[in-house]
């Protein structure tokens, strides 16, 4: 079977191998539960990747991708079960908590791992998986907070733009009225000056 990149078979929401994958009209695929939870949190049926709206509340199952993921998981489990210790050619059944590495039963008795703590490799893998889930949850919460802050900043910036436009219109309107007033005042004073000149000229003629 041709090797596949695990990253290509990971859901972009939970970053784990697809579980019951479905696909949207934009061709992006997600775990069915991941997509439902995402829509429940966002309250908008949009693609978590490209933000395109989805018209289907029950997206169809991506059967081809589901088969690929199941085959990959099976192949990976087989490889893991066949992993052998490079020193003793024994199966790696234990995990050394002190050295943070998988070991075999012979390694456990060796001088290098004297007085070390061990766990069954499946338990250790599950513990690490839980730690990664907690870290991922924390990162998701930080991302959600960042999106909220960014949304508030965008809203504030938009409000400022609107306010600047409104203030600019007020300033222009004010100066327009001021210019009109000055023009009228100029005309009135020139008219008064000419009238005064005409009166004085008339008086001079009469004299």
Q: Are 80 and 95 in contact (CB under 8 A)?
A: no
What residue has token string 């400022």? 160
What pLDDT score does 81 carry? Answer: 60
Helix, strand, coil share of the chain (percent; to 5): 60, 10, 30
pLDDT confidence of residue 134: 87
CB contact set of 87 (below 8 Å; sequence gap of 6+): 104, 106, 107
Q: CB burial class (10 A; 0-12, 13-18, 19+) of residue 32?
A: middle
The SS3 of residue 175 is helix
The Cα 33–Cα 84 span in angstroms is 36
pTM, whole model, 2 decimals? 0.40
Question: Mean pLDDT, 10 residues at a time, over the chain (207 residues)?
Answer: 65 91 92 91 87 87 91 78 76 88 88 90 85 88 88 87 90 92 91 88 83
Looking at residue 199, its pLDDT comes to 87
Q: What is the pLDDT of residue 80?
A: 64
Rg (CA), the chain: 38
pLDDT (0 to 100) of residue 6: 73
**What is residue 3's predicted lDDT score, i.e. its pLDDT?**
46
Closest CA to 4 of 48, 88, 65, 58: 65
Please enumerate, as own/partner, the contacts of 106-115 that have beta carbons within 8 Å and a separation of 24 or more.
none
Cβ(31)–Cβ(44) under 8 Å? no
Q: Which two tokens stand for residue 87?
A: 């020193």
In this prediction, residue 124 carries a pLDDT of 86
For residue 82, what pLDDT is reported? 61
Whole-number pLDDT of residue 180:
92
Rounded CA-CA distance 156/136 in Å is 30
- Count of helices and strands (H, E) across the chain: 4, 5
């Amino acid at each position: 079977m041709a090797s596949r990149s695990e990253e290509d078979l990971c859901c972009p929401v939970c970053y784990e191998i697809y579980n019951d994958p479905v696909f949207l009209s934009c061709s992006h695929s997600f775990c069915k539960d991941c997509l439902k939870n995402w829509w429940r949190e966002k309250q908008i049926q949009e693609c978590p990747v490209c933000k395109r709206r989805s018209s289907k509340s029950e997206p169809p199952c991506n059967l081809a991708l589901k088969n690929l993921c199941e085959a990959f998981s099976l192949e990976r489990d087989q490889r893991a079960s066949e992993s052998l210790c490079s020193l003793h050619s024994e199966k790696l059944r234990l995990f050394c908590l002190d050295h943070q590495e998988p070991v075999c039963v012979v390694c456990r008795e060796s001088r290098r791992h004297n007085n070390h703590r061990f766990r069954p490799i499946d338990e250790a893998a599950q513990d690490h998986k839980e730690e990664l889930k907690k870290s991922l949850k924390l990162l998701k919460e930080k991302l959600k907070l960042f999106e909220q802050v960014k949304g508030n900043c965008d809203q504030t910036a938009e409000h400022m733009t609107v306010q600047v436009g409104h203030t600019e219109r007020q300033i222009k309107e004010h100066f327009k009225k001021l210019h009109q007033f000055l023009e009228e005042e100029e005309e009135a004073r020139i008219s008064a000056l000419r009238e005064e000149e005409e009166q004085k000229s008339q008086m001079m003629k009469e004299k």
